[in-house]
């Protein structure tokens, strides 16, 4: 074989191998999503006649609808996250009267649609920012209703 033919076959082999390698390697785009800065707190809401808790966005970035999820379950149960239906901005106060479940409705004002919260029970509350997978709230809350509350009728 001539040197030119060997050289041409070598170049063709290199081109074919590199083409095969490049076609089998997926192009990965790495999107870096940083966690938002947000101060989210949760507390028992003892000033009401029913078993409930309040989750307050005290400061930082607004969490966009569909980009945050919430779980409220009895202590010892697996978290059950439900995606939000509205933005959570500074000053938003969520009043939770139920746990989260598949049918839960989560907004920047309320959590409803599942098992009612019980007085003298402890709940594990978690709030996660979905794009960054950052845990913004992870706290145990004990529900304690106002003692001696009397309902007044007009």
User: In the chain, how many H helices and how many E strands?
Assistant: 1, 9
> CA–CA separation, 113 vs 140, rounded Å?
21
pLDDT of 24 reads 53
Q: Is residue 136 part of a domain?
A: yes
User: Which residue range(s) make up the domain with 138?
Assistant: 38-142
- Does some domain include residue 31? no
- Ranges in the chain, pLDDT < 50: 148-154
pLDDT number for residue 60:
95
CATH number at residue 78: 2.60.40
Q: Considering the domain boundaries, does residue 19 fall inside one? A: no
Per-residue buried b or exposed e for 26-64, using 16+ beta carbons within 10 Å of the residue's own CB: eeeeeeeeeebebebebebbeeeeebbbbbbbeeebbbb
- Is 24 part of a structural domain of the chain? no
Q: What is the pLDDT of residue 13?
A: 73
What's the domain count of the chain? 1
């Amino acid at each position: 074989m001539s040197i030119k033919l060997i050289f041409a076959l070598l170049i063709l082999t290199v081109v074919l191998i590199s083409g095969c390698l490049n076609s089998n390697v997926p192009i990965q785009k790495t999107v870096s999503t940083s966690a938002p800065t947000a101060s989210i707190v949760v507390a028992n809401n003892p000033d009401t006649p029913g078993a409930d808790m309040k989750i307050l966005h005290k400061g930082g970035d607004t969490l966009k609808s569909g980009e945050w999820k919430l779980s409220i379950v009895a202590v010892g149960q697996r978290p059950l996250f439900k995606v939000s239906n509205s933005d959570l901005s500074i000053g938003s106060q969520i009043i939770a009267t139920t746990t989260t479940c598949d049918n839960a409705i989560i907004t920047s004002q309320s959590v409803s649609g599942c098992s009612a919260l019980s007085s003298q029970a402890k709940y594990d509350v978690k709030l996660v920012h979905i794009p960054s997978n950052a845990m913004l709230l992870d706290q145990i809350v004990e529900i304690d209703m106002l003692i001696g509350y009397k309902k007044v009728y007009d």
